[in-house]
Structure 1
Amino acid sequence: MKVGISAGYWSGSPPRGIAERVAEAESQGVNSLWTAETYGSDALTPLAWWGSQTSSLQLGTSICQMSARTPTALAMAAQTIDHLSGGRMIVGIGASGPQVVEGWYGQPYPRPLERTREYIEIMRAVWARDKPVTFNGRHYQLPLAGGTGLGKPLKSIVHPLRPDIPVYLGAEGPKNVALAAEIADGWTPLWFSPKSDDFYRAALAEGFARAGARRTASDFEIANTCWLIEDNDVEKAAAKLKPVVALYAGGMGAKGANFHNDVFTRMGWGEACAEIQRLYLDGRSDLAAQAVPTEMVEDVALVGPADKICEDIVTRWKPTCLTTMILAGWPRPETRDRILEAIRS
């Protein structure tokens, strides 16, 4: 299993110390750096900024929201970073949810799987650069249907460094996970739990079995962002993450339309999720965080003393389908080698 490091997305302002952490991670042989976006900072600018200070890290977005950019715009950005980095770009994309897509970007959300398929097909056509790009889909048309009539098919002026940049799909539900296995080069889960490994392997197998599937299980990458919080007291470590879990399970999306809530519910936390969401949507985020069971945090994160974290990695996480563990959080200096070795060995 490979190790990645997450710079995430920003909250109120740019996070401190990321440049130093990235430099240290690269010196420790970490494989990849990942950024994200919601409705504040974007994923591409920090990736280019911090990535420019590295020489070996793969540079991935986990994720770029599709509705934020047209497929040609993201294809342009990806091939630009790929050139500047010497071929280290990984394009992680995702559909996000209706709150963000319709509320922030003012774009329609329905039929996200179909939209994803079209989006990736157009990006690959840009990078292939074998002819001017044309596309006539439900969601995207190149040239635009019903426009001025002056649009013409175009071919990228830039010759991509790689004509086939890796695309990873951010997905949580079984249909979207199967789509990732069918058309993408990798999958970036969110709130993956080792206890759900069989569920996800079945969804992936469905995608790999489809006619024309791009990859097989042997050459498909699965890069999961996993929180890591060290503390000799497990409860204290988990408490630091409970507000984040409550935000996603309770506040990311409306009642009945929260994909993160669905993920935790499938793990067996349905009763807790209902209470967390009720409190969060009532404006009681503090009580929602308190309603998150410590065991629910332990299902999806590495929390506690280093000995426990290493044991969890070896006994729970290593046997799963994951190929890369992206750490959101960085081990202490005195335990760093042990934890990183537990993941890699």
Structure 2
Amino acid sequence: MRARWGLTVPLTGVPLISHRPLLDELADAGYTDLWSSEVAGTDAFTPLALASTWSPTLRLGTAIAPVFTRGPGLLAMTAATMAEAAPDRFVLGIGASSPVVVEDWNAQPYRDPFGRTRDTLRFLKRALAGELVDEEYPTFAVRRFKLERPPASPPPILLAALRAGMLRLAAAEADGVILNWLAADDLPRVRAELAGAKEGFETVARIFVCPTDDERYARELGRRMIAGYLTVPAYAAFHRWLGRSDVLEPMWTAWAAGDRRAATAAIPDEVVDALILHGNPQACRAKVEEYVRQGVQTPVIALLPTPELATGSGGVLRTVLLDLAPPVTEV
């Protein structure tokens, strides 16, 4: 069976309302999924709610809705609403997010991210099944909560995971896992921690794609992104776990010393090329397919800005998206 093929929305530089004419073409071209994110742009749910009416065939997923920035009951209500709006087409992806998003931007304490994610997962499974939940979880308590409109078909719940503990939790209790900031060659290490997952367990990977032949531009952008993300403690620990301590230590050392320019310059080309896929759209598509060969059921393209997209018309974006679509295969 051919893998699913996803796209991160909303697209950078495209007004949300202007996505509508693109969606039907994407579905016809072979895209199966739209996945949102939630950092400091749109929230995770509104773009999917709009897409649920604009394109009635695409599957919709959050990658991810943080477990700290909404109360458990509100998160359950929002997920139930999406499941009602897009029956059997919505997937709830949840995760711990980061101290910057949770504490600095949303004024919530970021304590015991593993425990909070575990407890939220357990609560949501019961709440979305329509149960009355009256439970003292280790990280929060819920008193007599019951959804007034439980979904007829509860959505699958996927867990964003990096290292072994969260990966094993996903395998044991969730319907799938969402991966981020890893190379195709990293997947065997990650998949080893998912051993024993139930049948139908889904592996989703968000993949950064910069479709340009301007190698210098792609690497400069990639270095800035890597320096911004992989210096976050959770991602730094993840890449140490993956075996990149030696090649990334100069970046971490310079960043800790406050020299961001030196930190960015210290990132080797091979790390950039592994984590940020670049080249013409057909070459990028082939690199995305390598993730599928390594066991990803749903690759989700996160399209990065390029000189071509910045200077071209809307037709350039359309052409790039169609060129990144999955190859046509015989059934």
2:43 counterpart residue number? 42
1:161 counterpart residue number? 152
- Aligned pair in 2 of structure 1 residues 30, 129: CA closer, same or farther (>3 Å)? same
> Which of the residues 326, 333, 339 maps onto 2:300?
326
1:56 partner SS:
coil
CA RMSD of aligned residues (A): 3.0
Deviation (angstroms), 1:89: 1.3
- Aligned pair in 2 of structure 1 residues 279, 175: CA closer, same or farther (>3 Å)? same
Deviation (angstroms), 1:291: 2.9
Q: Deviations over 1:261-280 (max 9, x none)?
A: 22333444324433333444
User: Structure 1: how far apart are the matches of 2:323 and 2:66?
Assistant: 35
Greater Cα shift, 67-76 or 299-308: 299-308
User: Structure 1: how far apart are the matches of 2:202 and 2:84?
Assistant: 22
Gaps of 5+ in 2: 305-315
Q: Deviations over 1:232-252 (max 9, x none)?
A: 3444333332211221013xx
Give yes or no for the alignment of 1:341 onto 2:326: yes
Q: What is the one-letter code of the residue matched to 1:172?
A: L
Deviation (angstroms), 1:125: 1.8
Q: Is the contact made by 2:31 and 2:326 (CA closer than 8 Å) also made in structure 1?
A: no
Q: What is the one-letter code of the residue matched to 1:50?
A: A
2:230 counterpart residue number? 249
Aligned length: 317
**TM-score normalised per structure 2:** 0.83
Q: Is the contact made by 1:71 and 1:120 (CA closer than 8 Å) also made in structure 2?
A: no
- Structure 2 counterparts to residues 1-345 of structure 1, below 5 A: 1-7=3-9, 18-130=19-131, 132-143=132-143, 153-162=144-153, 164-205=154-195, 208=196, 215-216=197-198, 218-250=199-231, 253=232, 258-280=233-255, 284-306=259-281, 308-314=283-289, 316-329=290-303, 339-342=324-327
Q: Is the contact made by 1:313 and 1:342 (CA closer than 8 Å) also made in structure 2?
A: no
Q: Deviations over 1:95-133 (max 9, x none)?
A: 123343333333333332222222122112222224x22
Deviation (angstroms), 1:84: 1.4
1:82 partner SS:
helix
Gaps of 5+ in 1: 144-152, 209-214
Q: Percent of aligned pairs with the same residue?
A: 25
User: Structure 2: how far apart are the matches of 1:309 and 1:263?
Assistant: 24
Q: Deviations over 1:4-51 (max 9, x none)?
A: 00026979x967954444443223231111111124532112222333
Q: Deviations over 1:213-235 (max 9, x none)?
A: xx52x411111111112223444
Q: Deviations over 1:179-201 (max 9, x none)?
A: 11111111111112222222112
**TM-score normalised per structure 1:** 0.80
1:180 partner SS:
helix
